[in-house]
Amino acid sequence: GGRPTPIRLSQTISTLERGTLAAERPLRRLVGSGRLNPLPHAGTISNFLLLVIIVSGVYLLFFYEFGFEASYDSVAGIEDHPIQRFVRAVHRYASAALVLTTLVHGWRLFVAGRFDGGRRWRWLTGVAALVVVWLAGVTGYWMVWDVRAQTLTEALIRSIDWIPIGADWVIDSLLGSDAGTGWPVMFLLWSAHLLLTAVIGWFIWRHLRRSHLRWLPPRHWMIIMGAVVGVISIAVPAGMLEPADPTRLVGAVPLDPFYLFLVPPLLSAAPWLTLVGLGVVVAAGGLIPWALRRGDPEPVAIDPDRCTGCELCVVDCPYDALVMDGELAVVDPQACVACGICIGSCSFGAMALPGFEPALPPDPAGRDVVIACQRHLRLAQLPESVATVEVTCAGMVNPLTIGSLLSAGAASVEVVGCPPADCAYGLGNEILAERLAGERSPRLQRKWDGAATQDWVPPTELASAVRTPGAHRIADSDVVPRQPWRLVRTIAVVALSIALVVLATNAPFDQGRQDSEIVVLVEHVPGAQIAGQSGPTGIAGADVEVAVVVDGEAFVVAASGGGDAAGSVVEVVTVPVESGTRAVRVELSEGSASPTVIVDRIIELGPGERLVVEARDLPPPASAELGERLFFESSLGRNVGCVICHSLRPGDDGVGPSLAGIATTASSRVPELTAEEYLRESILEPTAYVVEGYLEGQMLGGYGETLTERELDSLIAYLLTLEE
């Protein structure tokens, strides 16, 4: 059971479906065939595009490097190579098209009411997959580290700089001097991109598991989509924007509305409203099946005394809701969606839908009889002279029913169902078409071969199908009409759609920045010494005020109290100023102590330039204790964790040689190098000296990018304690 949906809500959904089908009518007429209409195939086309994205993405990963400059340069190198440039364009345009086809698929499922009963969790996983697709696309744009990625970074800063930990991460990883080469950040983005892709695959598997529904579209759709995306990718490469430059403001930049639609509102005065709104929209979309529940459909009932154990119902159920328990079919009520397709496969009256009994005309003799699903009869009207038999789905029709109507003298029997790939229950139209063609059991009696007509049309075109019976016979979506002009029209429609997608990915966005900007990064423990100052500043535990004065006018005074758990005050202060020669003074006030002047000088700011001022405490000196922590560290993106390959036990050589007594060994391994020099060279240039018995290149490189000078010195200090 469950509370029924209000009548007005059902009418609203019906009205939306009627409007959607009416909007699609010009496209259906243009292509001239239901099998060449891409809209019903939007879901499986999305899966095909996802496969294209995964394959092209794996190829591109072989050429990607980590680091702000390194990542940009590696993508620029991809763009310079003809094959890699083509694959990159395919990857980007297929990603944008994926969002479009998924939205089309979701909307058509919604207006058709295909989200109740056993399909609720299927709907929820579909919504979740779309959200993760969006996140993966955002990280993909970020990985280029161009001005578009810089705009994304600024949107991120606006979103999290009110969180102390978030502001700290921004300063350390993106804006401050400690950001370094950006190797950890880009590695993190790369890892997130791959992880999100894996999560998408998991959600798709959850979305389609326990069903016989198609995973991929018919072959001709894969050929058409692949060819169109390929040709457009050759004609319109993805191209490169200018590299990200934190010393300059980003003015106009192209933003892909399929993935970067949140950037403009996040850059507004109240980004938190955007995040709250996004959360509400996603939650509402995922909870539609529960919010609009029309009452759980009762599962099919099985009469054990009539069941013969033929297994036809188990084979036909699109949602794997039936299994055999010995010689008896058993239904899983959680998986059953009450489509009735299994009833059409049972010729012994062993199955029924509680509360629904197809009513045959009391006297069909001499009358035209139309058997149609509820969806068709709800959205269309037929003349009173036509007798109708309502079924939940065309697949509910058993050929014996058609034979009984003809035996009772019906002038004609016409079965009308949904067009190819557009059945409300996935496969009902195709299953019935196979039964009537004698390709699937139960079959129509031979004496009635060809006596019943079939038509597979959209619900709003039921009346048209009744006027011209048999004009739309084939439900097999794999069959392509032979008329070449129809295929040409279809290809033109697909090409135009993808071309518009490509055009949209370069939608202009201008932040309207004409002047300059001052950014002050504060990371300070009151009472500690700030870099560039002669000694400690302020009073321990005091509140900190950050004042930015331009030409004698205080633009911003940001007050912070308490800081994070370690007592550190973290602030990102942004001040827009007019370009030109400016007198800039930045000072920190800490309690009753005299203000600490961080900057006080005349600065020339050109249009679009950004001045970054840092007020950061001096880091503690290098220490063997820190080096020991680094030696045993193995966190994501750090690539340190020396202990993974090197043991500290004598003679315990593994992937790398044991480092027991390395301080003593290092002093004599290379005669012209001291122990400290040898260790530094071995960390920064692993191939400079290769220990006998090990291969060149076996040790990973890149430590000069992942370790700060203090960390490197600390690691060496720890290794120098490992004496024999």
Smallest CA-to-CA distance from 133 within 188, 75, 193, 186 is with 193
Q: What is the pLDDT of residue 48?
A: 97
pLDDT at 349 over 50: yes
How far is 390 from 373, CA to CA, in rounded Å?
6
pLDDT of residue 583: 95
pLDDT band at residue 130 using 50, 70 and 90 as cut-offs? very high
Q: Average of pLDDT values for 680-687?
A: 89
What is the gyration radius of the CA atoms in the chain, in angstroms?
A: 34
DSSP 3-state percent helix, strand, coil across the chain (nearest 5): 45, 15, 40
Helix residue spans in 587-708 (DSSP H): 624-631, 662-669, 675-684, 703-706
- 15 — pLDDT class (breaks 50, 70, 90): confident
Q: Per-residue pLDDT for 426 more than 50?
A: yes
Residue 205 has pLDDT above 60, yes or no: yes
For the segment 299-347, what is each residue's pLDDT rounded down to a tens digit? 999 999 999 999 999 999 999 999 999 999 999 998 898 999 999 999 9
Other Cβ atoms closer than 10 A to 549: 18
pLDDT in tens, 474-494: 655 566 666 788 889 899 999
| 636-674 pLDDT tens trace | 444 567 888 888 888 888 788 889 999 998 888 888 899
3-state secondary structure of 240: coil
d(C-alpha 111, C-alpha 102), whole Å:
14
Run of H or E including 324: strand 322-325
Is the separation of the CB atoms in 347 and 390 below 8 Å? no
Contact 344, 315 (CB under 8 A): no
Work out the average pLDDT over 134-160. 93
* Element housing 544 (H / E): strand 544-550
Amino acid, single-letter form, for residue 532: G
Q: What is the pLDDT of residue 472?
A: 79
pLDDT value for 620: 83
Instruction: Please tell me whether residue 252 adopts helix, strand or coil conformation.
Output: strand
CA distances 421 to 74, 213, 347, 537, Å, are 42, 10, 26, 72
What is the mean pLDDT of the segment spanning 88-92? 97
Minimum mean pLDDT among 125-134, 162-171, 193-202, 341-350: which range?
162-171
Averaged over 367-395, what is the pLDDT?
Answer: 88
What CA–CA distance (Å, rounded) separates 324 from 101? Answer: 37
Residue 22, H or E segment: helix 7-31
Tell me the per-residue pLDDT of 23-77, one tens digit each, with 9 for 90 and over: 999 998 888 777 788 999 999 999 999 999 999 999 999 999 998 999 999 999 9
Per-residue pLDDT at 565: 45
Q: Which tens digit of pLDDT belongs to each residue from 580-596? A: 999 999 999 888 888 99
pLDDT of 432 over the 70 cut = yes
DSSP E strands: which ranges in 569-683?
A: 569-577, 580-590, 596-605, 610-616
The answer for residues whose C-beta is within 8 angstroms of residue 292's C-beta and 6 or more apart is 5, 9, 13, 115
Q: Looking at the DSSP assignment, which residues form a beta bridge with residue 356?
A: 353
**What would the pLDDT profile of 526-554 be if each residue is shown by its tens digit?**
888 998 898 888 888 888 889 999 999 98
Residue 145 confidence class, pLDDT cut points 50, 70, 90: very high
The secondary structure of residue 320, as a DSSP letter, is -
* pLDDT at residue 167, rounded to an integer: 67
226-283: pLDDT as tens digits:
999 999 999 999 999 999 998 899 989 999 999 999 999 998 878 889 999 999 999 9
Task: Return the closest-CA partner of residue 339 out of 359, 324, 320.
Answer: 320
Query: Looking at residue 600, what is its pLDDT?
Result: 94
Residue, of 114 and 500, whose pLDDT is higher: 500
In whole angstroms, what is the distance from residue 458 CA to residue 708 CA?
A: 65
Q: What is the pLDDT of residue 6?
A: 42
Measured distance CA(200)–CA(136) in Å, rounded:
9
3-state SS assignment for residue 120: helix
**What pLDDT sits at residue 642?**
83
Which stretch of 179-193, 495-509, 543-557, 689-703 has the lowest confidence by average pLDDT?
689-703
**For position 173, what pLDDT does the model report?**
78
d(CA 648, CA 372): 77
Start-to-end CA distance of the chain, whole Å, equals 77
Q: What is the pLDDT of residue 474?
A: 66
- Token pair 């295929």 is found at 487
